[in-house]
Structure 1
Amino acid sequence: MTATVGSFGFQSLTETFTVDVSRAEGRPLNVPLVAPFTIASSRLDVVKNVAIRVELSNGSVGWGESPILPFVTAEDQASALEKAMDVCSFIKRSKPKALKLLLEEIVEIVPGHAFASVRAGVEMALIDAVANSIRVPLWRLFGGVSKSITTDITIPILPPLEAAKLAEKYFHQGFKTLKLKVGKNLNADIEVLGAIKAAHPKCSFILDANEGYTAAEAIEVLKVLHEMGLSPILFEQPVHRDNWDGLREVSQVARDIYGVSVAADESCRGLFDVQRIIHGKLADVINIKLAKVGVLGALEIIEIARKAGLDLMIGGMVETRLAMGFAGHLAAGLGCFKFIDLDTPLLLSEDPVIGGYEVSGAVYVFNNARGQGGFLNWNCNE
């Protein structure tokens, strides 16, 4: 069962609920990782995001998060924080109006890919505050299909022995799907994949190259893995985001010869990209990330992709449970995602957020709590 975009309460709520913002603020959200997070395009040691807090005149509070991932998001923390404060000032000055109108005005202020993560963070906070106002959990607001999700867990680019130890650890914690970061060195990637499969022989695995391969290298990886008796359930962003011909070539070979689906992630930065992928048959799966397209943009893309017969994945950009909680509520409520990659709070050395959901191994359970959690030790003094 999945919820259609027109069947859940969120759409009607945006037209009927009048929003009156009394406070809105953004602050740096810096959290160290358990270990360096290395992908083909960058390395992260500390999460440096922006947390957003919105309070309505009725006292209801909502939370959002704008993630910063070098070489993926268009903004750094300083510029994101500055833009977030601009948008927060705008919504505080705004006269009471329907949530739909306010969200549309935010899209006009922060359009497109630049500062999309800021737009997403403010949208999350506003929607969360409204959900708190009407005492409805977000997962129910977004369709109510389920109140839990099962996520994969990511293994960054590591030497084979370290990767194998992580795989064994995750096996004992109950993770059945591993997402393996590749794309930096073809031969090293193949060696790591063999070591991981030996340590966790029954796991399913996703390859995520983060644009790191050429088309020829991506096809070579699939060929060698096939010879090793290994087959990923998904191959995510094998080539550079602008290499459309390469994406089409890898997708065709992966699908027709090896039975592997290819997902577009960095290549999908908005509705125009999705339409291009659909019309050109460039990929089988669209990776939805709220930080790339915002909440409203994500819902629009979900509807179009599903009508076109594409599968959906939901992922993140190394966020805390503020953003991952919201994305998880959305995924659980809609029930339409074949691949769920919302593991990044599990990679942090500390958790600055309370509430939102309970974690049991790979499963996130969203109870009937109204919102998605809140920031620990936040004092909003204005």
Structure 2
Amino acid sequence: MGPSALFGLQSPSLCFSSTITKFSTPAESLPSKKCKNPIANAVTACMAASPPVAPPSVCLGFKNLMETFTVDVYRAEGRPLNVPLMAPFTIASSRLDRVENVAIRVELSNGCVGWGEAPILPHVTSEDQLTALAKAAEACLFLKQSSGKTLGLVLDEISGILPGHSFASVRAGIEMALIDAVANSIGTPLWRLFGGFSNAITTDITIPIVSPTEAAELASKYRAQGFKTLKLKVGKNLTADIQVLQAIRTVHPDCSFILDANEGYKSEEAIHVLEKLHEMEVTPILFEQPVHRDDWKGLGYVSDVARNKYGVSVAADESCRSLGDVKKIAKENLAHVINIKLAKVGVLGALEIIDLARASGIDLMIGGMVETRLAMGFAGNLAAGLGCFKFIDLDTPLLLAEDPVIGGYEASGPIYNFSNARGHGGFLHWDNIA
């Protein structure tokens, strides 16, 4: 299915005021040429020629934009984006000591710039950094040769260059950057472009696989910062997992838990964890990917027992890497929640999956790999604009030792506010990451 047929999303509104907010970001974020805004100019001329009434309302929903906006890319490039972590990030399937992602910069001929990010997470994303850089270069070359095509057609052809799960992370980064550049062109923040439900979200925060003492220290810190939902990485050692849960419960007794096993348990082990928690009088609000991604029978079994015996919802994450996976999950009642990650399916793929999941009565979660505020800002705007996510897990920038992103959303503990005038508002000092 091509992009033009997508996005029958039941978002509150796809129409918004065409009033353009003054752009006042630091000089480093400005494009090399003046960012001309033809829509803003047309609206200004219309208002100047008319009596002083309310500004006209222009329907600029994403679907409409895909069909009407003509893309003309002046520059496009991908570069390594390497950032240290505050501490090693360990999950059941891998350990990460530093972020080694790929940043994407797209500049349109009107001077407007968009930014994206392709995250690299071993054993989860298919690409390594060298592969991602090579595929990004291929896609960027195509973008520079795509003058005169609609946004929808360009994105459709990008899906052909970077197909399926194998290149989903790079595809997501390219899509982010191009959509961000277009949003900048029309003077619209991304949360409005994606529906306008809200301009803020509240995220959980993740505690990786660590000792009970370290977990308690982190939980105490996060409690002081206002985080009410903790996502715990489990699945590597059943006994240690229970000890960590007990330690966290002691220092943050009122927190809500999400358990994320990252495929680490056998189905009977996952049920045993729920039994132990039940004895502790602890009910997680979500149990994410308890079994291996291909263990469909085990996923369905854990989901059935978790919901009917313990009142716990189960989310499919690694098991959901395509629209076909969602169809299987919905048809066979294998999970109660789908975790959307742009790096698994791309931006357009995510919107397709969201549409299908909502039509099937499956709840939604939005998460990420280990990304900077470039990718998290885009995903956060998407979540805020659509307003359809029951669980929000967009915390990974808080785990980084440095923040290379300038501008973008403002974080106050677990709350992200998207106050920028257009796009997602974040950018990099490009020459500093060469």
Aligned residue type for 2:225: Q
1:245 alignment partner, one of 294, 297, 312: 297
Contact persistence 1:148–1:364 (CA under 8 A): yes
Map Cα deviations across residues 226-248 of structure 1 (whole Å, 9 max, x no partner): 01111100000000000000000
Distance of aligned partners of 1:87 and 1:140 in 2 relative to their CA distance in 1, 3 Å threshold: same
Secondary structure, aligned partner of 1:286: strand
> Which position in structure 2 is the counterpart of 1:60?
112
How far apart, in 1, do the equivalents of 2:165 and 2:432 lie? 29
Secondary structure, aligned partner of 1:115: helix
How far apart, in 2, do the equivalents of 1:368 and 1:35 lie? 30
> Which position in structure 1 is the counterpart of 2:90?
38
1:80 alignment partner, one of 132, 142, 150: 132
Secondary structure, aligned partner of 2:262: coil
1:236 alignment partner, one of 258, 278, 288: 288
> Once superposed, what is the RMSD of the aligned Cα atoms?
1.4
Contact persistence 2:198–2:385 (CA under 8 A): yes
TM-score (norm 2): 0.86
Secondary structure, aligned partner of 1:70: coil
Contact persistence 2:12–2:195 (CA under 8 A): no
Instruction: Tell me how far 1:6 sits from its aligned partner.
Output: 9.4
Contact persistence 2:11–2:387 (CA under 8 A): no
Contact persistence 1:24–1:52 (CA under 8 A): yes
> Which position in structure 1 is the counterpart of 2:190?
138
Map Cα deviations across residues 302-337 of structure 1 (whole Å, 9 max, x no partner): 000001000000000000000000000000000000
Contact persistence 2:80–2:433 (CA under 8 A): no
Name structure 1 gaps, 5 residues minimum.
Answer: none
Q: Does 1:274 align with 2:280?
A: no
1:126 alignment partner, one of 178, 182, 185: 178
1:4 alignment partner, one of 5, 10, 13: 10
Instruction: Tell me how far 1:272 sits from its aligned partner.
Output: 0.5
The equivalences for 1:93-108 within 5 A come to 93-108=145-160
Say which is worse superposed, 95-104 or 7-16, in terms of deviation: 7-16
Contact persistence 2:190–2:424 (CA under 8 A): yes
The equivalences for 1:1-382 within 5 A come to 4=10, 7-8=13-14, 9-379=61-431
How far apart, in 1, do the equivalents of 2:264 and 2:353 lie? 25
Contact persistence 1:21–1:96 (CA under 8 A): no
Instruction: Tell me how far 1:376 sits from its aligned partner.
Output: 3.0
Map Cα deviations across residues 11-56 of structure 1 (whole Å, 9 max, x no partner): 1111111010010000000000011100000000100000000000
How far apart, in 2, do the equivalents of 1:378 and 1:228 lie? 51
Map Cα deviations across residues 125-148 of structure 1 (whole Å, 9 max, x no partner): 000000000000000110000000
Contact persistence 1:31–1:46 (CA under 8 A): yes
Aligned residue type for 1:340: I
Name structure 2 gaps, 5 residues minimum.
Answer: 1-8, 15-60
Kindly, what percent of the aligned residue pairs are identical?
74
Contact persistence 2:81–2:433 (CA under 8 A): no
Map Cα deviations across residues 254-305 of structure 1 (whole Å, 9 max, x no partner): 0000000000000000000000000010000000000000000000100000
Instruction: Tell me how far 1:201 sits from its aligned partner.
Output: 0.4
Instruction: Tell me how far 1:251 sits from its aligned partner.
Output: 0.2
Map Cα deviations across residues 195-224 of structure 1 (whole Å, 9 max, x no partner): 001110000010000000000000000001
Contact persistence 1:5–1:303 (CA under 8 A): no
TM-score (norm 1): 0.98
